[in-house]
Amino acid sequence: MLPDERVVEAGVTNAVELPVRFLSPLVGADNLNVTISDERGWITSPTSFSVPVGAGEYARATIEATMVLSGANEIVVTAVSQSDPTLVGAATIVMMPVGTALALATTAEAGSTTLDADGAGVFEVGGDVIVNLGGATEERGTVTGFGSILLQSPLRFDHGAGENVVPANRLAVAGEGAPANLVPTALAVSVAPNPTRNVGTITIELPEAGDVRALVYDALGRRVADLVDGPLAAGTHTFAFDPSGLAPGVYVVRAMVDGRVVSRILTIAR
């Protein structure tokens, strides 16, 4: 699976088209079940559909989205083979305001917690960024400070000058004139990385305190994990999620707070 563009810059209220190409994971033809999730609900086209793929041929589909608010939005496209559901592919597309993408100005070595980046991006402390989106050394980090971009954890790979640095979630980019570290304005759930192979992070944003129950379900609706069941304060809460005991495939993270429910697709890959 290959998006035509992995980083898409757009203005607020702009409608955009995101073409994606699919290739059969088998030697012969196949049908792929495609699901699309995004953190902020900007997708305006169907978020689940099937794509027939011929042997050795690409099939194309176009995702339609509208940037409703300033900030970043991570869109995850997941394709599962109907012939062999253990064959799962996924790709990430990041939508962001015009002019906020950054590029590394100097080499960043594995083990470093500093990124020297050029550009006009406005990043938030506590937000996540992706380095080299779509590349072999793609990885994520959490911003802890500036001067350069300071990361919470050391880089795992070496990165060269010119590689992109993009926001990975709505917390990563400030809206115009917005102060950093506001209490969330809406109930939301996000997953990073997505797809995940090892331990991932599930984030729940609460605009106000409440009793929270967050669960993970498989594609058959069976509960496979409990994240939290109890009172939480307003703010952003993160939970480690270890998928090592679960089969590859598509899962659903569901958070319930005082009668409100939000869900997010989680893809486990091996």
Q: Tens of pLDDT along 211-269? A: 999 999 998 889 999 999 998 888 888 888 889 889 999 999 999 998 889 888 899 98
* Token pair for 168: 């990975």
Q: Order of strands across the sheet with 139-145? A: 114-115, 149-151, 139-145, 128-131, 164-167, 102-104, 117-118
Separation between Cα atoms, residue 175 and residue 81, nearest integer Å: 39
In tens, the pLDDT along 57-85 reads: 888 899 998 876 666 788 889 888 898 88
What's the pLDDT tens digit per position in 132-156?
A: 888 888 888 888 776 678 887 888 8
Q: d(Cα 107, Cα 93) in Å, to the nearest integer?
A: 24
Residue 171 has pLDDT above 60, yes or no: no
- Farthest-apart Cα atoms in the chain, separation: 53
- 188 three-class SS: strand
Count Cβ neighbours within 10 Å for each residue of 190-199 and write b for 16 or more, e otherwise. bbbbbbbeee
pLDDT(159) > 70: yes
Residue 185 is predicted with a pLDDT of: 75
The structure's pTM equals 0.61
